[in-house]
Amino acid sequence: FAVISPTQITATVPPGATTGPIAVTTPAGTATSRPDFIVLPRVPPQTVGVFRPNQAFLLRQFNTDGLPDIAVPLGQPGDRPVVGDWDGDGKATVAIFRNGQFLIRNENATSAPVTTVAFGQAGDLPLAGDWTGKGFDSIGVFRAGTFLLRNSNTSGGPDIVANYGLPTDLPVVGDWDGDGKTTVGAFRPSTGFFFLRNENVSGNANISFFYGLAGDLPIAGDWDGDGVTTVGVFREGMFFLRNTNTAGFADLAVAFGQPGDLPLAGRWKTPPIIPPGDFQTGNSTIVWRNRVTGQNAIWKMNGVNFVESALLPTVEDCWVIGGVADFNGDGNTDILWRNQDITGFDAVWTFSGTTPTASLPVTPEQTDLNWTISCTGDINRDGQTDIIRRNATTGAVEVWLMNGRARSAAVSLLIPDLALSERIVGSGDFDQNGLLDLLAHNQAEGKARIITLIGTAAADSRPLPSLGPDWRLAAVGDYNRDGQPDIVWRNTTTGQNVIWLLRDLALAQSVAVPTVPDQRWQIVGPR
């Protein structure tokens, strides 16, 4: 583990861990963590793909049933597929092995330039991996029970030779122990047996187990983002993926591809940076609600400049907007509603652009009206929008870890010095460390701060300048598209509104946007 502060550590836990206490013993004594910590993914999960011989690479962005997200038409008779992060940019891209030559592309596009590297011979099975922890993948081949590995994507002899497996085995490679290096392994298709090695040298298996059926094709990837590669099998158009290198049932079953395809795994593209609350406009918006009349509107913005207002359907005054985020993973912004006065029900409006398309329930229901929705954000970095809730009576804060619109777990969020008079306004990665932070505001005292988090506990507090008690912090977006959160203020007396562009937790620029004197209108998102 690494010590962050006198009361905070980060710890690497076993693959597949979810929650449970960690005990730390030092000369000063022993301390045990809360039992409901969150295990954060170290990297984005890898996802499946297939190579359809003589036709194309077909790649999926999620480990779910569906159509290809990326198609790269490539291949001729006899070609073998291989994928790797050839340039160290975090993205796996396609390559072809043809008669002892690797044809490597650094983009998943047919038109991408090709680097040709002579290595291996016809009949070899191509491989890719970061054999020495250098930060990018390089080529290799498996030839009749011998791994021949190269530490650069250049022609030449093998840098590493490891005799491992039988000539009839199929090779699998991965980072089986999470040390940052790709090492060898093999799958015996006659029996469905994996045997994996933690070093690129000949020797006995460090890990071995049965998984799959005779005739399955092996595949390996980091399916849950914990930094450890685990196995899977491909069978007649179905992937059966395992999150630990042990015998057992599949943790994920994905229908993708068809019989005759060859399985692949990788992180296929760098996800686009979508500014919070963009509603497919390419820019963060400002969301308004008038609880007196029930009217709602979205201000479309061009940077920090107001463009136009899009009206939304009217909603009864018992409903409040709790958050603005993408709940169904379609890349479109949704609005999270809560019936705060009568039922306690929550619902998500899905959108196409700025047009609502459906109203769908959040499960389970939170009918205790003491609980309010503070904001949304991806607390555990699993790619799903989570909901941060606050109990208005006790001040308790909890996170609903979500799978779409369904709660998968409820976890307490520990912020010891959070006063009842402070509102949690929104979330974002304000300190640019890859973890979600919270924005809090005490309007009566005219104080605002960033609460940095590690998992589900506050790690630090960074004060922000404040405009005084007439100003209310209202929203968090990214209006100048620099990847850093910006904040929106509204004056509760004059109706003035300003956007603060932040840079490294400091105010870089304050920009006025149109004044709305009618105080029945309140800014409610993004947050």
Fold of the CATH domain 278-526: Neuraminidase (2.120.10)
Pair type for strands 497-503 and 486-491: antiparallel
Q: CB neighbours of 432 closer than 8 A, spacing ≥ 6?
A: 483, 484, 504
Question: Which residues, listed in sequence order, are joined to residue 371 by a DSSP beta bridge?
Answer: 391
Q: What are phi and psi of 260, to 5 degrees?
A: 100, -20
pLDDT at 25: 61
What SS3 class is residue 510?
strand
Per-residue pLDDT of 425-475, as tens digits, reads 999 999 887 789 999 999 999 999 999 988 788 889 999 988 999 999 999
Per-residue pLDDT of 45-86, as tens digits, reads 899 999 999 999 999 988 888 899 899 999 999 999 999 999
CA 511 → CA 129, 293, 439, 488, 514, distances in Å?
A: 48, 29, 19, 10, 10
CB 78 within 8 A of CB 56: no
Question: Which residues, listed in sequence order, are joined to residue 319 by a DSSP beta bridge?
Answer: 339
pLDDT at 287: 98
Go through the chain and tell me how many residues it has. Answer: 527
Looking at the chain, the whole-number percentage of residues with pLDDT higher than 70 is: 91
Residue 90 has pLDDT above 70, yes or no: yes
Cβ atoms < 10 Å from Cβ of 140? 31
pLDDT at 454: 82
pLDDT at 13: 52
Per-residue pLDDT of 186-222, as tens digits, reads 999 999 999 999 999 999 999 999 999 999 999 999 9
Q: CB neighbours of 65 closer than 8 A, spacing ≥ 6?
A: 254, 255, 256
pLDDT at 7: 46
Minimal CA–CA distance to 36: which of 24, 22, 23? 22
Confidence of residue 129 (pLDDT cuts 50, 70, 90): very high
- The whole-angstrom separation of Cα 191 and Cα 168 is 12
Fold of the CATH domain 47-266: Neuraminidase (2.120.10)
pLDDT at 1: 52
Minimal CA–CA distance to 272: which of 282, 259, 262? 282
Question: Which residues, listed in sequence order, are joined to residue 70 by a DSSP beta bridge?
Answer: 59
Per-residue pLDDT of 369-420, as tens digits, reads 999 999 999 988 777 899 999 999 999 999 999 999 999 999 999 999 999 9
Instruction: Read off the pLDDT of each residue in 492-498 and give the average, rounded to a whole number.
Output: 97
Minimal CA–CA distance to 110: which of 59, 161, 172, 57? 57
CA 350 → CA 49, 286, 354, 381, 394, distances in Å?
A: 28, 17, 10, 22, 32
Ranges in the chain annotated CATH 2.120.10: 47-266, 278-526
Cβ atoms < 10 Å from Cβ of 340? 20
Instruction: Read off the pLDDT of each residue in 168-188 and give the average, rounded to a whole number.
Output: 96
Burial of 315 (0-12, 13-18, 19+ CB in 10 A): buried
Per-residue pLDDT of 251-274, as tens digits, reads 999 999 999 999 999 999 765 567
- The whole-angstrom separation of Cα 79 and Cα 27 is 60
- The whole-angstrom separation of Cα 143 and Cα 86 is 22
- The whole-angstrom separation of Cα 154 and Cα 102 is 10
Query: What DSSP element (H or E) covers 52?
Result: strand 47-52
User: How many angstroms from the chain centroid is the CA of residue 231?
Assistant: 21
For residue 227, give the amino acid letter: G
Minimal CA–CA distance to 525: which of 265, 277, 223? 277
pLDDT at 41: 45
User: How many angstroms from the chain centroid is the CA of residue 404?
Assistant: 13
Cβ atoms < 10 Å from Cβ of 484? 18
Per-position b or e across 168-204, b if 16+ CB within 10 A of its CB:
ebebbbbbbbeeebbbbbbbbbeebbbbbbbebeeee
Residue 405 token pair:
């619109």
CA atoms within 13 A on the CB side of 85: 19
pTM, 2 dp:
0.61
Angle at 487 between CA 527 and CA 310, to 5 degrees: 60
ω into residue 167 within 30 of 0, thus cis?
no
Per-residue pLDDT of 288-309, as tens digits, reads 999 999 999 999 999 999 999 9
